[in-house]
Amino acid sequence: MEKYISFTVPSDSAISTVGQVLRAQGHLTKKQISRAKFLPDGIQKNGIRCRITEFVLPGDEIQVCLETAETASEQLVSGDFSSLEILYEDQDILAVNKPAGMLTHPSGTHYADTLSNLVAAYFQNKKASVRVRPIGRLDKETSGIILFAKNQVAAQRLQAQREEHVFRKEYLAVVAGYLPEDPADLWHTISFPVKKVSDHPLRMQAVPAPDDNCSTDASLLPAVTHYCTLYSAANWSLVSLRLDTGRTHQIRVHMKALGHPLLGDTLYYEQKLDNFSVQPSFARTALHAWKVYFRQPFEGNEIRLTGTLPEDFRAIIPYLPL
C-alpha cells in the first residue's frame, strides 16, 4: 500500500537540507530515509526527485515515499473474511477483535485459519497491497483487540509506543477467589520475575521471592503487571489488568502466584467441582483484551478503543464500571 508524507519548510526554519527536514519534521530514522532514497520518486522537493543533501528554502514542499503499492505482501492463504470484526481503520492502522480459539498468525499446522489470514483476505478484497503486520499478539485462548499496521513506519512507531508505554492495552480477567474491590484509580502492582518450567513444554512460573542466586539466573525474566479489582463475589472476582512487560502467560502466572488463577485456565488452575456452580463458566481461559490506547503514528492524536465483549464474558457486563 502506498504511503507518502509531506512537509512544508516553515518560514522561520533554521533547517538547511532535505535530509534535515525528514529527520526534524518527519521524525524519520536514517534507515527509513535510506530506504526511501532508492524508491522511484522516493524523495521529492517541490514535485521533483532530489537528493537529501540539497538545500531547502522556506515554503519548499518535501514529499517522501515510505512504501510503494508494489511492496511484497506475506503470502498468506486467505478466503472468507466475513467473520472479521473491525473496530477501527484509518490509512495506517486496522484494529480488529480476535475471537478466542484463534491464533494471531500462522504457526505449525495452522497456516490458513488464523487472524492474520482473515486480515490478509480483507486487504485482498479491497485490492490493497498491504503486508500483514500485527502489533503484538494474543494467546490462542485470549480474545480481544489486536492492531495491524498498514506500512512499515507505522509498525515501527507503534512498536516504539509499546516500549515507551504510550501504547497500552487493558485486559479483563475473571479469577478464582475473593479480592477486595478497588476504587477506579487504585492499581496494585505484581513484579515477580517469571521463567519457564524446566519439565513442561508450555508452563511458566512466577518467582515471588527470588533469592540471592536468582540475580545471576539468566532464565529469570522481569515481569510487571498492574491490576484493579472491579467486582468481588464470594469465590470469584473480576479484575482489570495492564502490563509493563509482555512475557509468555504473564497475567496467568502472576494471578496464579497471588492465589487467584484465571477461571477456565486448564494449564494453571484445577477448578474444583464444588465451586463450579457458583463461579461463571468458561470453556477457555477467562481473559479478554478489551481496551487499547495509542497515538496515531503520523498525526499524533490519541486513539482510545473499547472492543465488544465475547459471549462468555457478557454475563459479567452488569459488574463493569460505567
Residues with catalytic function? 139
CB 251 within 8 A of CB 263: no
Mutual angle of helices 30-37 and 152-163, in 10-degree steps: 180
Distance set, CA 123 to CA 72, 85, 201 (Å): 13, 14, 36
E strand or H helix at 32, and its extent?
helix 30-37
CA 210 to chain centre: 30
Here the cell at position 21 is: 527536514
203/189 Cα distance (integer angstroms):
22
181/201 Cα distance (integer angstroms):
36
268/284 Cα distance (integer angstroms):
12
E strand or H helix at 144, and its extent?
strand 143-149
Place of cell 518450567: 197
Place of cell 487504585: 186
